[in-house]
Every structure is written in C-alpha cells, then in structure tokens.
C-alpha cells in the first residue's frame, strides 16, 4: 500500500500555449485543484510539452517528489505515460487516453457525443456536413471522427472523405482546414468542430466568406467553454462536465492509493447538447 497522498501532479502533456488557450483544460485543472485542496493534498501543475520539456517532466514524476499524478488528454504516441506507469507512481488518466490501456480513467463517451452533435445538424435538414477533426493521435479525436461518420451512416448519408479535414484542436489548423473545406465544397451546409476553439476559428472563416450562420452553414462546437457563448452568433456545442470529471479523477486516485491491488476503473460520464444560435438562429428562450 502506498503512503497517503501528500502531493499530486496534474500533468498537461502539451506546450503551455496550448493549455492556456483551451478553456476546457483550464476548467478541468481548476476542478482537480479544488478537489485536492479539499482533501489537504498539495496540487502541482506540470506542463509537459515535447522534447526537453517532456524529458524534465518525466524525470520529475519519477523522482519521488509527488505521490501521484493525474494526466490530462494523453496521446497514443506520448512516451511520458509509459515511463510514469513503469515507475509505479499511482496514475489516473483524465480525458483522452490511449485505447485499451488498463489504467484508472475518467472521460466522456466521445463517439456518442459526436453522434449527438452531427445528429442535431441532420435533424435540421443539413446534408453536406463537414468536419475538422481533432488530433487523431488522441483517443478523443479518433472517437469524435468515428461518431461523425456513424451519425451520417445512421441517416443514410454517404460519407464523403473530402468533407473531412484533419486538425489538431488548435485554432490555426481549424482556420486553414475550414478554408479548404469551403473551397472544395462551396455548398457546405453544416460543420462539426470537435472543440469550441476550433468552432470559433471556423466561424471566422465562414463569416469572412459571407456565409450566414446558421442560415447557410449550421455550426456546432464541443466543450461549452466561454468561447461558445461569447461568439457571435453564440455556438451550439456539446457540454462536457469539467467539474465532475476533475472530482472523479481525484477520487479514483485516492482509491488507487488506498487499494492498490483493486481492478482499474473506467468512469464514463454523459455529455449534453446545448443549442444556441449557430444552429437554430435567434431563439425566444434564454441561452443555457
């Protein structure tokens, strides 16, 4: 049995510029910090990008300076996770995590959430629906693309690979990808972006191209971050329960320390469709 938790690292395997520009990640970090403080556990934020930054983070996590770690949005090709697991440090994965890994984790059903998002566009009569994907090396990116495809298949809409542009959850990539989609498909009438950051970038492209949102192109994002309700028009989006996810991750880590021989648990929480003007136009009801 491990010693009681005195300190826990929340590990962000991305450059600091990525973390601070993604409100969902910062919301989750705040919820993890709050849950740790309630248990009188010291919270350490560790930004672990690529190269030297990742190497330093790996060395720190394996040095015995913290008693556990919560890793946010791990990628399939990230060596940090493997090294930390080999060290024996108690670990919980929060958000996207490599498929098939038998480790405690908390996430939403990304495929189902994407199906709900694209199904909403289909229910509005949209048929030329494109998507700019997230990072496909992350389980969330791959599963959200899978949900997009399955929603089209369920509606007997033939999937057109030229309506899919690969992105990486960043605004810059989403902006360029949306431009390419519009050049290839000027008749585009729906767009699913798997993060609000990407949806906001896509919105700028659509408006610059004199496309009316939602009259010409209905647009939906993902996360329900402040970006979604501050956009003009406000974005329809998928709400992830950031606060709930953070607390569940801390509870799992505490349980792992108290019962190290127990079977790893995977907690899958529900996401919620939040409808706003970017798909429905001006509504009489107040925004959620």
Q: Are residues 43 and 103 in the same domain?
A: yes
Examine residue 79 and state whether it is found in any structural domain, yes or no: yes
Q: Are residues 254 and 218 in the same domain?
A: no
Q: How far apart are CA 110 and CA 114, in angstroms?
A: 6
pTM for the structure as a whole? 0.91
Q: How far apart are CA 38 and CA 99, in angstroms?
A: 31
Q: Are residues 234 and 247 in the same domain?
A: no
Residue with tokens 């826990």: 8
Q: Are residues 64 and 156 in the same domain?
A: no
- pLDDT by 10s per residue, the chain, length 288: 556 789 999 999 887 888 888 888 899 999 999 999 999 999 999 988 777 888 899 999 999 999 999 999 887 777 888 888 899 999 999 987 776 788 999 999 999 999 999 999 999 999 999 999 999 988 899 999 999 999 999 999 999 999 999 989 999 999 999 999 999 999 999 999 999 999 999 999 999 999 999 999 999 999 999 999 999 999 999 999 999 999 999 999 999 999 999 999 999 999 999 999 999 986 544 344
Largest CA distance in the chain: 62
Q: Are residues 115 and 203 in the same domain?
A: yes
- Which domain, by its residues, includes 263? 7-107+241-269
Q: How far apart are CA 62 and CA 88, in angstroms?
A: 9
Q: What is the pLDDT of residue 2?
A: 56
Q: Are residues 235 and 114 in the same domain?
A: yes
Annotate 102-139 with b (16+ C-beta within 10 A) or e (fewer).
Answer: ebbbbbbebbbbbbbbbbbbbeeebeebbbbbbbbebb
- The secondary structure of 146-189 as a DSSP string is HHHHHHHHHTTPPP-GGGEE---S-HHHHHHHHHHHHHH-TT--
Query: For residue 193, what is the domain's CATH number?
Result: 3.40.50.2300
Q: How many other C-beta atoms lie within 10 A of the C-beta of residue 254?
A: 20
User: What's the total number of domains in the chain?
Assistant: 2
Instruction: Tell me the Cα Rg of the chain.
Output: 20
Examine residue 44 and state whether it is found in any structural domain, yes or no: yes
Q: How far apart are CA 44 and CA 138, in angstroms?
A: 24
Q: How far apart are CA 71 and CA 28, in angstroms?
A: 11
Nearest Cα neighbor of 119 from 2, 220, 247, 4 is 220
Q: Are residues 123 and 219 in the same domain?
A: yes
List, in sequence order, the alpha helices (H) in 39-162: 52-61, 79-87, 110-123, 139-154
Examine residue 68 and state whether it is found in any structural domain, yes or no: yes
Q: How far apart are CA 213 and CA 28, in angstroms?
A: 30
């Amino acid at each position: 049995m491990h010693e009681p938790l005195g300190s826990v690292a929340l590990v962000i395997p991305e450059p600091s510029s990525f973390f601070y520009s993604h409100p969902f990640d910062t919301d989750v970090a705040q919820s993890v910090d709050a849950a740790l403080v309630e248990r009188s556990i010291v919270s350490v934020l560790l930004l672990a990008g690529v190269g030297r930054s990742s190497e330093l983070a790996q060395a720190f996590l394996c040095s015995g300076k913290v008693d556990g770690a919560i890793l946010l949005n791990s990628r399939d090709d990230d060596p940090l996770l493997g090294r930390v697991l080999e060290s024996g440090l108690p670990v919980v994965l929060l958000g996207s995590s490599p498929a098939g890994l038998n480790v405690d984790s908390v996430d939403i059903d990304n495929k189902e959430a994407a199906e709900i998002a694209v199904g909403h566009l289909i229910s509005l009569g949209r048929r030329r629906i494109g998507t700019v994907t997230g990072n496909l090396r992350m389980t969330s990116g791959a599963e959200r693309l899978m949900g997009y495809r399955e929603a089209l298949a369920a509606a007997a809409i033939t999937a057109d690979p030229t309506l899919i542009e690969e992105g990486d959850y960043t605004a810059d990539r989403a902006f360029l990808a949306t431009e390419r989609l519009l050049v290839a498909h000027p008749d585009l009438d729906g767009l699913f972006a798997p993060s609000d950051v990407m949806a906001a970038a896509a919105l700028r492209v659509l408006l610059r191209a004199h496309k009316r949102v939602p009259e010409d192109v209905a647009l939906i994002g993902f996360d329900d971050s402040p970006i979604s309700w501050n956009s003009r028009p406000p974005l329809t989006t998928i709400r992830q329960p950031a606060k709930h996810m953070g607390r569940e991750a801390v509870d799992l880590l505490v349980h792992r320390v108290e019962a190290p021989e127990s079977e790893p648990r995977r907690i899958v929480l529900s996401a919620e469709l939040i409808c706003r003007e970017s798909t429905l136009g001006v509504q009489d009801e107040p925004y959620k």
